[in-house]
Amino acid sequence: MNITETKSEGLKKEYKVVIPATDIASKIDTKIKQIAKTAKLPGFRAGKAPFEMLKKKYHDSVLGEVIDDAIRSGTAELVKNENLRPAMQPEVKITSFADGKDLEFEVNLENLPEIKIGDFSKVKLDKFMAEVPAEEVEKALKYISESHKETVVAEGKKAAKGDVVMIDFVGSVDGVEFQGGKGTNYPLELGSGSFIPGFEDQLIGAEAGAKIDVNVKFPENYHAKDLAGKDALFVVDVKEVREPKVVELNDEFAKSVGAKSLDALKEDIKNRIKNDYENASRMKIKRQLLDALDTEYKFDSPESLVDAEYKSIVAQYEQAKKYNQLDASEKEKSEDELLKEYKDIALRRVKLGLLLSEVGQDAKISIKPEDINAAIMNEAKKYPGQEKAVLDYYLKNKSAVEALKAPIFEEKIVDYIISKADVSEKIVTVEELYNFNDEDKSSKKTSTKKTDKKSA
């Protein structure tokens, strides 16, 4: 096999590969000899037919398979001999071939860039930390009590904000009932904002037994397009008015929500809030790290990978646009501005992905079974009360487990780099901890100390 590099522009490479006709003929003979072991021809026992007769019969049928094999093995040999690392599957084009002649084909590919890993101890990072304020614990405790509050029938009372009214209702637009506009014995908390704007306000002051016509207008961005922006009438029967029963925050209440005591419940709440703070801190230090790496490392990224990532981002944008799910910042920009921004994002993602992958290989970082188990347990914790269902899901879906591996690998690499970096702890307020605006860096001035790198 003869290999000639015909073009080299940055990461893009083009090669001409020639496989001699004698090699192709030899591969054809080999294939036919394999067929000959079991082939049957009239007048001959299986495996005893003359080779030339078999060659005449099977030559054309094995030729295509031989060419495919030759191109596949030839491309693999090219990659190995030239020490290439293709970013994506190489493109192959046959440029010349006829039976009995040399096989010539072109191979076009983009090579992965050479990345030299630097000294991570020179990377300076801030680890932001915040103490859990007592009022945050009390606020969370109040939220738990509110979510577990009971209501009691309030005879003769006029419904007020915070009360629950048990209602039957039928909705219509232009006198015609619409799908999903009917309910029976529905418990509606006034002031909860769970119904469309203006609905709940018109029930304040109502008493049990009242029949009320509620006139409202569906929001312009309502999810049901056929109702968006339209006026509607709801005929509402108020069956009961219920008021919330005061929840006493004591050991008995704590036990009702699964804690041993009120103090234990408060400690559990504090630990959960602390865990949320640590997650926010992790997000901030990871963003700092990625920004630092993006600034420090300069290398070309394969256009094919960037284009693939860009198309993926644009597809997500088109989906969000279709269902009116763009965020405020996206709505403020023109499509040209957004597409340019998405191109920059795609380039950054590919660049950092290649860099982190190189670091992972250089540091011999691997994913262990315990890493996957820990990730699955973390996923299960996100769904309190449904942990078993989550665990069963991953147990039965290998593809879901595989999907966890890439983020696990990335987080292990990030941990590795942080462990090598120059990390300083900064005690900040909760507001500062959750401020992810780059413009507000100057406000994060507090006591600073070097931290144990293992804790970063």
The three-state secondary structure class of 306 is: helix
Nearest CA to 422 out of 128, 126, 116 is that of: 126
Say what the pLDDT of residue 58 is.
Answer: 85
Copy the structure tokens of residue 164: 């629950």
| Pair type for strands 151-153 and 231-244 | antiparallel
Copy the structure tokens of residue 22: 């004698």
Q: Please provide the DSSP assignment of 263-292 as one string.
A: HHHHHHHHHHHHHHHHHHHHHHHHHHHHHH
Nearest-angstrom CA–CA distance, 299 and 397? 38
Query: What's CA 84's distance to the chain center, in Å?
Result: 30
Task: Please report, to the nearest 10 degrees, the dihedral formed by the alpha carbons of residues 22, 26, 29, 33 taken in order.
Answer: 170
Q: Would you give per-residue pLDDT tens digits along the chain (456 residues)?
A: 999 999 999 999 999 999 999 999 999 999 989 888 888 788 787 777 888 888 888 898 899 999 999 999 999 999 999 999 999 999 999 999 998 899 999 999 999 999 999 999 999 999 999 999 999 999 999 999 988 888 999 999 999 999 999 999 999 999 999 998 999 999 999 999 999 999 999 999 999 999 999 999 999 989 888 999 999 999 999 999 999 988 889 999 999 988 999 999 999 999 999 999 999 999 999 999 999 999 999 999 999 999 999 999 999 999 999 888 888 889 899 999 999 999 999 999 999 999 999 999 999 999 999 999 999 999 998 887 899 999 999 999 999 999 999 999 999 999 999 999 999 999 999 999 999 875 333 333 333 333 333 333
Q: Is the pTM here over 0.95, yes or no? A: no
Amino acid letter, 406: A
Say what the pLDDT of residue 453 is.
Answer: 35
Kindly calculate the radius of gyration of the chain based on its CA atoms and give it in whole angstroms: 34
Angle between helices 387-396 and 398-420 (to 10 degrees): 100
Copy the structure tokens of residue 288: 């700092």
Please provide residue 453's backbone torsions phi and psi, each rounded to the nearest 5 degrees: -60, -25
Nearest-angstrom CA–CA distance, 157 and 153? 9
